[in-house]
């Protein structure tokens, strides 16, 4: 897994748990050196509600975890391995 860096996940659907037991699911658009995230097409889920938010900036200090589906991870890993093999 050392092969992958955060920028490899741009374009992937990620699930970000943030402070206050909120889950944000959206497409990773960008990140910066501080690990602040920019997500698009975001849906926020709490224990009581679910709502669509659109484009959201997620400050690093609010992030508790970042996850994605295993199938997406495998696809990203395979694509990166193919690119590296073609370079060499």
Q: How far apart are CA 56 and CA 24, in angstroms?
A: 9
pLDDT (0 to 100) of residue 2: 62
Query: Domain limits of the chain?
Result: 6-87
State mean pLDDT over 57-83: 88
Fold of 6-87: SH3 type barrels. (2.30.30)
pTM confidence score: 0.81
Q: Render pLDDT for 8-63 as a digit per residue (tens, 0 to 9).
A: 889 999 999 998 889 999 999 999 989 899 999 999 999 899 999 999 999 999 99
Q: Could you give the 3-state DSSP secondary structure of residue 32?
A: coil
């Amino acid at each position: 897994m050392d092969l992958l860096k955060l920028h490899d996940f741009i374009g992937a659907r990620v699930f970000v748990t943030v402070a206050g037991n909120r889950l944000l699911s959206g497409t990773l658009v960008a990140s910066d050196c501080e690990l602040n995230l920019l997500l698009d097409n975001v849906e926020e889920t709490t224990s009581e509600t679910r709502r669509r938010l659109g484009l959201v900036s997620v400050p690093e200090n609010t992030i508790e975890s970042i996850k994605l589906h295993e199938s997406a991870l495998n696809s990203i890993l395979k694509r990166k391995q193919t690119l590296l093999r073609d370079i060499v």
